[in-house]
Chain A
Amino acid sequence: MKATEAVHRLPGLFALVLGTAVAGYAATFPELEGGYPGPGLFPGLVGVGLAACGLVLLIRPGAPERTDEPVVDAGWIGRARFGAGLLLVLVFPWLRGSLGFFLASSLLALTVARLLGARWTATVLTSALASGAIYLFFTRLLGVPL
C-alpha cells in the first residue's frame, strides 16, 4: 500500500477506533429494570454507527473530495505556529488569573497577529484597542465578569 493510500484510509480508521471505544464504554452502563436497555443504548448505537461508517471508509476510502482540505505539510514552522496558538489559548485561564484579562487577551491577539506576520505597531494598537473594547463591553454593558 502506498503512503498516500494509507493517508486516505486514516479517517476511516479514526471513525472505527472512536466508534469502538464509545460502544465499548457504553456497554458498561447499567440497564433498566427488567433487562431493558438503559443509558448505554443511545451512545452504544452511536458507537456502532461510527464504527460501521469507519469500516466503510476504511474499505472504500474514495478519492479526496472537493470539500477536503488538501493534505499539505506546512513544515515545522507551520506546526510550531499552530502549537503556539493552541497552547496560548489553553493557558489563557491561568494567564488571565495572573496578568488580568486585558493583558492576557492583548498578549493572545498580539501573538496570533505577529505569528501571522502583522507589523508591530499595528499589532500592538489593534490588540490593546480590541481587548479594551471587549473588556468594557462585557464588564460594563453586560455585567459579565472577565
Chain B
Amino acid sequence: MTLLSWQGLLALFLGGLYGAFFGAIPGLTATLAVALFIPIAFFLDPMIALPAIIAISSVAIYAGDVGSTIARIPGTPASAAYVDELYTLARRKSALFGLGLSALGSAVGGVIGTLLLIFFATSIAAVARTFSSFEYFWIAILGLTAGIFASGGRPVKGAVSLLIGLFFSTIGIDPTLGFPRFDFGDSDLLGGLNYIVVMIGLFGFAEVLERLYRPQGPAQVERVSAPARPVYTFFSPPLRFILRERWLVARSSLLGVVVGFLPGAGADIGAWVATSVQKMRTAQDEDDPQRIILAGTSSNNAAVASAWIPALALGLPGDTVTAIVLGVFMMKGITPGPLLFEQNMPLVWTLYATFLVANLLLLPLYGYLTGRLADVVVRAPFNLLLGVIAVLCVVGAFAINNNPFDVWVMAAMGAAAFALRRGGFPLAQVVLGMVLGPILEQNFMVSAIKSRWDLTSFFDRPVALLLMALTVLIVSAGARLTRRRKPE
C-alpha cells in the first residue's frame, strides 16, 4: 500500500479534517488528536498510519489559529505569541485574510522545514545529540529573553508576566526531590496547573469578562462585511504578502527548524524567538501585525517537520506528537534511528512526501474551509458569540482532565488576566513562562548537580556559549529598541 493509493489519500484527507476539528476547538490539541488516533493506527498499514498522523498534526497545529481568530484562544503556546495580532486583524480586515496568512505562512514554513528534514536530517540530528542539560538551560533562557521583548511594551512588565508564568510552573511536585510546592495540602494543586487551562482562561474567558464589564470597550471594533471574493481574499493577498516578505518567512522558518528539533518546547521557543525578532525589526507601519503573524506561523509549522528529525534519525522524540509516533513505530516493529535510513527508505520517502502533500495541499484546503467557517462566525452578533465562547471555555477546561478544579482555575485566570491587562502586563508571556519553566528548572538543577554546583560549567561548552551570546544579542537589540521607542 502506498501514499498514492486511494486508501493513502483518503487517510491523508480524513486525517487533515480530523486535525482541523481538534485544532480549532479550545482545549483540544494536536497531541490529543494523535493520541486518540492510536487505536485506529494499530489496525492500519504503517504506510497509511504514519502519513495520517503527519496530516493530523500539521493541520491541527495550524487550526490552533482558528481559535485565536474566533475567540482569542490560542491553540498552542506558540500561537499565543501572535494571538492578539490575529484576533485584531480578523476583526479589522477579514478572518479569511488572517487565516489565509496563517495557513499559507504555515504551508511555506512547513515546506522549508520538510526540505531541511530531507537534506539535513542526519546532520541536524548529530548536532542535537551534542546537546546536554547545559545547552537546554541556555535555550530556555533564550526563549524567555525573546519573550520579554516580544511584548512590545516595557520589558520590565514583560518580565513580570514571564515570572508569573514561571511561578505557576512551580506549583505541584518539584522535579528534583519530588517535594510538593505551593499545593497548600490540596491534591488538585499537587498535580500542577495545566497550561492549556491557563491559556483558555487568560485569553478566551478574559475576553468574555472584559466585554461583560465594558460591552462598548475599545476592542469592540466595527463588524467587517463578508468578502465579495472569498477564494481571492484567502489566497491572493496573503500569497502576495508572503512573496513580498519572503526573507522574513525564510528567516522565521529557519529559526523554527533550528530550535524546533529540540525536545520539549522547541517549536514554542522557535515561534517566540521569530515573533520577537520581528517585533524588534518593526517598520512602524500598518503591515506590522501581518509580519508578526507570518513570522510566528511559518516558524511554528517549520518546527512540526523538524521535530521529526531526532525521532527519525535518533529515535528520540522531538515533541509529544513524535513521542506517540515512536510508539507507533515500535507497535509496527520498525526501529527508528540511523538504520531506518538504510533499511526502510520507502517509508522514509513516504513520510517526506506526506509532509509536502500536507503542507502544499491539505493546509491550503483545510485552511480555506476553516477560514470560511471563521469568517461566518466572527460576523455573528458579538454578544451571542461571547455566550458560546463562555461555554467553550468551560468545556475546553473541563474536558482535559474531567475535573471541575480546572474550570475554577480557568475562571481564576480569566479574572487575573482582567487585572493584568489593566496593569499593562502582557498575557502571552505568562503562558511562555509556564511552558519553559519546567525545562529551565530541570536542566538547571541537573546541570548544577552533575557539576557539583560549579556554576562556571554553564559557560564551558561552545554551543552553550553560542546560545548565551545569542541571548546577549537579543537583550542588547531589545534594549536599543526600547530606548528608540521612548521619545514617542
Binding site for B on A (CB under 8 A): 10-11, 14-15, 18-19, 22, 25-26, 29-30, 32, 36, 38-39, 41-43, 46-47, 49-50, 53-54, 56-57, 62, 64-72, 74, 78-79, 81-82, 84-86, 89-90, 92-93, 105, 108-113, 115-118, 122-123, 126-127, 130-131, 134, 137-138, 142, 144-146
Contact B395 A50, beta carbon cutoff 8 Å: no
Tell me if B36 counts as interface (CB < 8 A to partner A).
yes
Contact B395 A105, beta carbon cutoff 8 Å: yes
Given contact pairs A64-B424, A123-B387, A126-B387, enumerate 14 new A-B contacts (beta carbons under 8 Å): A32-B449, A39-B179, A46-B166, A49-B159, A67-B152, A67-B424, A82-B209, A84-B212, A85-B208, A89-B411, A109-B388, A118-B384, A126-B384, A131-B391
Out of B386, B388, B398, B422, name the residue touching A69 (CB < 8 Å): B422
Tell me which of A41, A42, A50, A82 has the highest count of chain B C-beta atoms within 10 A of its own C-beta.
A42
Contact A127 B387, beta carbon cutoff 8 Å: yes
Tell me which of B174, B176, B393, B394 has the highest count of chain A C-beta atoms within 10 A of its own C-beta.
B394
Complex CA distance for A108 and B398, rounded to whole angstroms: 15
Contact A134 B425, beta carbon cutoff 8 Å: no
Contact B395 A130, beta carbon cutoff 8 Å: no
Tell me if B487 counts as interface (CB < 8 A to partner A).
no
Out of A11, A49, A89, A138, name the residue touching B407 (CB < 8 Å): A89
Tell me if B153 counts as interface (CB < 8 A to partner A).
yes
- Interface stretch (choices B45-53, B67-75, B213-221, B242-250): B213-221
Complex CA distance for A53 and B164, rounded to whole angstroms: 11
Contact B160 A15, beta carbon cutoff 8 Å: yes
Contact A38 B404, beta carbon cutoff 8 Å: no
Tell me if B236 counts as interface (CB < 8 A to partner A).
no
Tell me if B399 counts as interface (CB < 8 A to partner A).
yes
Contact A57 B177, beta carbon cutoff 8 Å: no
Complex CA distance for A43 and B168, rounded to whole angstroms: 9
Q: Can you list the 10 inter-chain pairs with the closest CB atoms, starting with the nearest?
A: A93-B404, A11-B423, A113-B387, A116-B383, A109-B387, A68-B424, A39-B174, A39-B179, A118-B383, A112-B387
Contact A67 B422, beta carbon cutoff 8 Å: no
> How many residues of chain B get a CB closer than 8 Å to chain A's CBs?
71
Residues of B within 8 A of A67 (CB): 151-153, 424, 426
Contact B163 A89, beta carbon cutoff 8 Å: no
Residues of A within 8 A of B364 (CB): none
Residues of B within 8 A of A64 (CB): 424
Out of B153, B177, B211, B393, name the residue touching A39 (CB < 8 Å): B177
Complex CA distance for A70 and B449, rounded to whole angstroms: 47
Binding site for A on B (CB under 8 A): 25, 28, 36, 151-154, 156-157, 159-160, 163-164, 166-167, 170, 174, 176-177, 179, 181-182, 205, 208-215, 217-218, 381-384, 386-388, 390-395, 398-399, 402, 404, 407-408, 410-411, 414-415, 418-419, 421-426, 437, 440-441, 444-445, 449, 453
Interface of B is mostly: helix
Contact A108 B154, beta carbon cutoff 8 Å: no
Out of B156, B381, B392, B421, name the residue touching A134 (CB < 8 Å): B392
| CB nearest to B424 among chain A residues | A68
Residues of A within 8 A of B28 (CB): 142
Out of A11, A47, A108, A145, name the residue touching B157 (CB < 8 Å): A11
| CB nearest to A126 among chain B residues | B384
Residues of A within 8 A of B160 (CB): 11, 15, 50, 53-54, 57
Contact A30 B177, beta carbon cutoff 8 Å: yes
Out of A43, A68, A108, A127, name the residue touching B182 (CB < 8 Å): A43
Residues of A within 8 A of B179 (CB): 29-30, 38-39
Contact A122 B381, beta carbon cutoff 8 Å: yes
Residues of A within 8 A of B152 (CB): 67
Contact A42 B170, beta carbon cutoff 8 Å: yes
Complex CA distance for A77 and B56, rounded to whole angstroms: 45
Question: Nearest-CB distance from A115 to chain B (Å)?
Answer: 6
Residues of B within 8 A of A134 (CB): 391-392, 395
| CB nearest to A57 among chain B residues | B156
Residues of A within 8 A of B388 (CB): 109, 126-127, 130
Complex CA distance for A27 and B152, rounded to whole angstroms: 34
Residues of A within 8 A of B166 (CB): 42, 46
Residues of A within 8 A of B395 (CB): 105, 134, 138, 146
Given A67-B151, A130-B388: A105 and B157 within 8 A (CB)?
A: no
Complex CA distance for A53 and B445, rounded to whole angstroms: 24
Contact A39 B424, beta carbon cutoff 8 Å: no
| CB nearest to A134 among chain B residues | B395
Given A38-B179, A50-B164: A115 and B422 within 8 A (CB)?
A: no
Residues of B within 8 A of A85 (CB): 208-209, 212, 390
Complex CA distance for A57 and B152, rounded to whole angstroms: 17
Out of A39, A46, A53, A74, name the residue touching B156 (CB < 8 Å): A53
Complex CA distance for A85 and B208, rounded to whole angstroms: 8
Contact B387 A142, beta carbon cutoff 8 Å: no
Contact B402 A144, beta carbon cutoff 8 Å: yes
| CB nearest to A117 among chain B residues | B383
Residues of A within 8 A of B151 (CB): 67
Out of B181, B205, B425, name the residue touching A11 (CB < 8 Å): B425
Residues of B within 8 A of A115 (CB): 212
Given A29-B181, A53-B156, A112-B387: A74 and B170 within 8 A (CB)?
A: no
Selected A-B contacts with CB under 8 Å, 26 pairs = A10-B423, A11-B160, A38-B176, A38-B177, A42-B166, A50-B160, A57-B157, A67-B424, A68-B421, A70-B218, A81-B212, A82-B209, A89-B393, A93-B404, A93-B407, A105-B391, A108-B390, A109-B387, A112-B387, A112-B390, A113-B387, A116-B215, A118-B381, A118-B384, A138-B395, A144-B402
